[in-house]
Amino acid sequence: MFSAVVMQDVSFGYEAHAPIMQVKEFNIEKGKRVFLHGSSGSGKTTLLGLIAGVLLPQHGTCEVLGKELTHLSLSARDRHRGSEMGYIFQSFNLIPYLSVKENIELPCRVHAKRLKRIAAPTLGDEVRRIAERLDLHHYLDRGVTKLSTGQQQRVAIARAVIGRPRLVIADEPTSSLDSDRQEAFLQLLLEVCDEARATLIFVSHDRSLMSHFDERISIAEINQVRS
């Protein structure tokens, strides 16, 4: 299998009669780093939702990491996403009442496949290994709400890459950072995705980050519906 994502003849609307996205064909090769950009409201988050299987197209097919999402039940799609994908949100979506360590290890506690793929002998060792890599090892027992924004972003990276997901999706994770911090965040994310050998889809408005990616795709190139 050489493609991480294969979309064909996809049509999607939040209301079925009014499609906001129509994609004839869209492929992402395995292992690629893809930068996805487009104006506000052009459908970037919607496309990520279709790839993650949170949204289902009304027509067409969407194969992600070898599974045709339209053939899977809701729970099978949830399992596929949790086992094979790491997601970094703009607002991080960390669990506020859990510690740094508990947030990072969460995907491995919920999904056996992620736990099986850790590099260290135990989950505790793996959390420490990743935390050291991301300079979070001094805060492991701290509540995530007591961290700075930059530290919270690094927790979000750690949680997304633990247990080597095959696809990492990042939806505007750098939009609240100044440009030096954006670069540092991106470098770190690229390095840990490389280590995990994950395909990366990175959404941003900021075209200055484009040069770090193998492919740069404007949503207008693939979505036939004009916003």
Ligand X SMILES: Nc1ncnc2c1ncn2[C@@H]1O[C@H](COP(=O)(O)OP(=O)(O)OP(=O)(O)O)[C@@H](O)[C@H]1O
Q: Is 38 in the site for ligand X (CB under 6 A)?
A: yes
Size of site (CB under 6 A) for ligand X: 11
> Taking the complex as a whole, how short is the minimal distance between the CB of residue 46 and ligand X, in angstroms?
3
Residues with Cβ < 8 Å from 8, sequence gap 6 or more? Answer: 24, 25, 60, 61
Print the binding letters for residues 42-81 with ligand X: x by CB under 6 A, - otherwise: xxxxx-----------------------------------
Q: How far is the CB of 205 from ligand X (least distance, A)?
A: 7
Relative to beta strand 59-64, strand 3-12 is antiparallel
If one asks whether residue 149 binds ligand X (CB under 6 A), the answer comes out as: no
Instruction: Give which of 79, 30, 33 is closest to 53, Cα–Cα.
Output: 79
Q: Which of 20, 106, 190, 220 lies at the binding interface for ligand X (CB under 6 A)?
A: 20
User: How many residues belong to the chain?
Assistant: 227
Using the structure block, give the residue that is written with the tokens 């770090």: 212
Q: Which is nearer to ligand X, 179 or 227 (CB)?
A: 227
3-state secondary structure 102-157: HHHHHHHHHCHHHHHCCCCCCHHHHHHHHHHHCCCHHHCCCEHHHCCHHHHHHHHH
**Quick one: 48 or 123, whose CB is closer to ligand X?**
48
Q: Is 207 in the site for ligand X (CB under 6 A)?
A: no
Q: Contact residues for ligand X (CB under 6 A)?
A: 14, 20, 38, 40-46, 227
